[in-house]
Amino acid sequence: MTEQKWLTRFIFLESVAGVPGMVGGMLRHLRSLRRMKRDNGWIETLLEEAYNERMHLLTFLKLAEPGWFMRLMVLGAQGVFFNGFFISYLLSPRICHRFVGYLEEEAVITYTRAIQEIESGKLPAWEKTEAPEIAVQYWKMPEGQRSMKDLLLYVRADEAKHREVNHTLGNLNQAADPNPYAAKYKDPTKPHPNKGIANLKSTGWEREEVI
């Protein structure tokens, strides 16, 4: 795997990874409108996830410009995946969140392997490559920590969080339970889900822990 091949993989991965959050947020938004009831905080988290994945894509696009074949592949994959996920989410949101949790696990593995290749010297061009300005502004990357490896560490942390969030949502009652990432807890000293990675759980939080 060369630097260019890794970027191609990242771009394709992120162009697909931005779909589930948008589909889930859209369907829950429409459901809330139809029922004329609140959504218990799920919509915001799902749309935040979609936005975060899009920022990953925009960042990598600053490092590589895909050709027409790659764009065609993304178009086809997105069309198939969007419609398939749309129908699947209507049938079983729980299974969809579980699937996305596993998808994010694969993303974590992908970025881990890329980081390991940088560390082992197999990607020499990236040893001198700095993160694009869009990434510096988005993650507020400090001076001296703006290398390609640092960028991939930030992206991997995001993917690990998405993995936890989707596994957690998959453990909940889809129709009735509130979003634990938007809830306020009576005892803030006890570990609980949050938007950071302080209490990260790779398999998600069980329903009994958050409800």
Q: Residue 19 — φ and ψ, nearest 5°? A: -80, -50
Task: Note the helical H segments in the chain.
Answer: 3-17, 19-35, 42-61, 68-91, 93-119, 133-139, 148-170, 207-210
97 is in an annotated binding site: no
Residue 63 DSSP symbol: T
Contact 116, 106 (CB under 8 A): no
208 is in an annotated binding site: no
Three-state DSSP at 130 gives: strand
49 is in an annotated binding site: no
14 is in an annotated binding site: yes
CA distance 145 to 151: 8
Give the CA distances from residue 133 to residues 116, 158, 170, in Å, rounded to whole numbers and listed in that order: 24, 18, 35
Contact 127, 152 (CB under 8 A): no
143 is in an annotated binding site: no
Residues 6+ apart with CB under 8 A from 75: none
Binding region? 14, 53, 56, 104, 159, 162
**Annotated binding site for Fe cation: which residue ranges?**
14, 53, 56, 104, 159, 162
